[in-house]
Structure 1
Amino acid sequence: MSTLTSKNDHDKLKISYRATDGTVHLYNVDKFDSCSSMAVYKVPSAYSIAIDGSCSSQGGQIFTNIYEWDSSFGNWCLRREVTGEKPYLNSGEVASKEYVARVEGCFAPGDLRPPRYTPSTQSRKAVISQLRYFRTIIKDEAAIKEFIRLFPFYSVAELVPYIDVNTVQEINDIAFYLSKYDRSYEAIPLLEHIVREFPERFVAKLNLADAYWTNGFESKAIPLYVAYEAKMNSLGLTKNIPSRVKNRQAAKEN
């Protein structure tokens, strides 16, 4: 069984990884910046690790490196750089602003060489391929559940730049299933972008309102519930409005 341990030593994060064959790999990672709180952890449901040097404060910088084990190199190799900033909750922001860059080759933890980034055209092809696969399983609930289980947290930010008329349906569905399987907070950036860029997709407003409400942002949910209810009434679909839409508006008023 493999083991991963780490400790902070002054301005370095020292990592020890013992592979299943007993081989021990040692890494020294410089602190990313002055406010970083360095940590390493396994990414849930994925054979990858994250080295996280993000600042913990509101509005703090995000800097997380994602590494995957590559047997051809016999090492952990950098595969994603996640950057951005955390929300200022008192300003009404809810989700972090995150950007994901793909990395080629093998840059091990602590490697100080500049990474070699994947061209944007290639990254787009990879995302489109993922969405095409998702489309093929849309009627298979078990396959969708497994897709969401294996969907790493950084893939949400990776999808946002590719939301357009050709991808909005699949990405909206991914957001819906993230919420369905207890990851509604992660769905918020996708739904916010969809509601902003495709305001006619009023069901997305309902999904975003639900995600806000579930995560304690009731005041942001209410205007969306109101807009959704008004649209459904205008279409003569009043009977199709879920009861929670009215119940939550009334609960907020009280």
Structure 2
Amino acid sequence: MKNVVINSLTGILGLTLSMCVFSYTLYDPQKFDEESYEIKKIDVNFDGKLDYVVYSKPFMGDELYFFVNKNNKYYLSLKGYNFSQDGGYIMTNIYPASDKSNRLNIRTSFPGAGNGEINYLISYENKKYFLDETIHTVRYSFDKDGRVDICTVKQNIDLQMLYSKSNISLHEIPSEDERDEKCTISFKITASIDDFIQRIREEPYSTYETTQRYEALINKYKITNKNVTQYNDLAYFLEKRGAYKESIFVLRHIVKDFPSRTVAYINLGDALWGKKDRDKAKDAYQTYINLMKEHGNESKIPKQVFKRVSL
């Protein structure tokens, strides 16, 4: 956490200021230079009165001040930084949170590729400000399905501690390989099922990863008698490329809608085996064996299936 020296108030108030939450100091927020600062009226302590928020304009610094309204006089209650980063995210707005939770939302955005956002949700309790959570929005400009990750990260950090202690840091956004389970990932599917199959056969894993991609695909193209073979082929090629969790996701949807589809169970067993979930793999293989026997096809069961079930 970087230390920020805020000189504008130092000169005006004649004080040496450290980055912290203040015992209230009388001040006129409108004395800030409007060319360098945004000055907004917002209820920062949720007492029903409009207060002032002052923060540096984009590319003009990273200062942030809260002034509370006491009988139409304004007192500095918070001095810190606005989560802008050199060469990275910049603060673009502050407003009451849309969930009506008595929190402020500090919105930052990254003006480069992807136009990502981080929203910082701030609450006020017992004359202290807390960073409750951060909401990261990551857009993938080059993803063929318009991927957008939204990751909510719990923080619960006293802003005074965050601003004044170098050893206090924010909890980070989950890594990309964790987001399938920890974040909401949305897609705008325009490709066909056959397009997906071709992509899986020819392109890197990054172009077809995450189970939520296939949830979006299935929501767009419901599994029916007409396309169940395509979906089975899709899952088969996912398994062959080592995308086991994606393959398992598709196959579980297939057997849910078509519980008698024999071939899906051997493919499900193979994907679970590849994922090293041996017990569940054996269950899928056993269902496959039972269905093959029901149809008089026991002689066509691969020897490997019997071998794996017996292990």
- Give the TM-score normalised by the residue count of structure 1: 0.51
Counterpart CA distance in 1 for 2:141 and 2:116 is 22
* Structure 1 segment 100-179 matched on structure 2, within 5 A: 100=186, 102=188, 126=190, 130-131=192-193, 133=195, 144-146=201-203, 150-151=207-208, 153=210, 154-161=212-219, 162-179=222-239
SS of the equivalent of 2:224 reads coil
Counterpart CA distance in 2 for 1:215 and 1:53 is 26
- How far residue 181 of structure 1 moved from its aligned partner, in angstroms, is 0.9
- How far residue 45 of structure 1 moved from its aligned partner, in angstroms, is 7.0
Q: Deviations over 1:206-245 (max 9, x none)?
A: 1112222222332222222112112223444334322331
SS of the equivalent of 2:192 reads helix
Does the C-alpha gap of structure 1 residues 132 and 249 become closer, same or farther in structure 2, counting only changes over 3 Å?
A: closer
* Structure 1 segment 71-90 matched on structure 2, within 5 A: 86=181
Is the CA contact 2:143–2:207 (under 8 Å) kept in the aligned structure 1? yes
Report % sequence identity. Answer: 21
Does the C-alpha gap of structure 1 residues 247 and 147 become closer, same or farther in structure 2, counting only changes over 3 Å?
A: same
- Structure number with higher helix proportion: 1
- How far residue 151 of structure 1 moved from its aligned partner, in angstroms, is 2.8
Q: Deviations over 1:41-63 (max 9, x none)?
A: 6759727664431569xxxxxxx
Counterpart CA distance in 2 for 1:226 and 1:131 is 29
Structure 2 runs not aligned, ≥5 long: 1-86, 91-103, 122-130, 155-173, 175-179
Is the CA contact 1:134–1:170 (under 8 Å) kept in the aligned structure 2? no
Is the CA contact 1:148–1:178 (under 8 Å) kept in the aligned structure 2? no
Does the C-alpha gap of structure 1 residues 220 and 14 become closer, same or farther in structure 2, counting only changes over 3 Å?
A: same
Q: Which amino acid aligns with 1:177?
A: F
User: What is the aligned partner in structure 1 of residue 293 from structure 2?
Assistant: 233
Q: Which amino acid aligns with 2:110?
A: S
Is the CA contact 1:176–1:187 (under 8 Å) kept in the aligned structure 2? yes
Is the CA contact 2:149–2:185 (under 8 Å) kept in the aligned structure 1? no
Structure 1 runs not aligned, ≥5 long: 57-63, 65-84, 88-95, 103-122
- The count of corresponding residues between Structure 1 and Structure 2 is 175
Q: Which amino acid aligns with 2:217?
A: L
Does the C-alpha gap of structure 1 residues 150 and 249 become closer, same or farther in structure 2, counting only changes over 3 Å?
A: same
Does the C-alpha gap of structure 1 residues 5 and 215 become closer, same or farther in structure 2, counting only changes over 3 Å?
A: farther
Q: Which amino acid aligns with 1:187?
A: S
- How far residue 198 of structure 1 moved from its aligned partner, in angstroms, is 0.7
- How far residue 157 of structure 1 moved from its aligned partner, in angstroms, is 0.8
Counterpart CA distance in 1 for 2:276 and 2:254 is 21
User: What is the aligned partner in structure 1 of residue 119 from structure 2?
Assistant: 29
Q: Which amino acid aligns with 2:119?
A: V
The Cα RMSD (Å) is 4.4
User: What is the aligned partner in structure 1 of residue 272 from structure 2?
Assistant: 212
- Give the TM-score normalised by the residue count of structure 2: 0.43
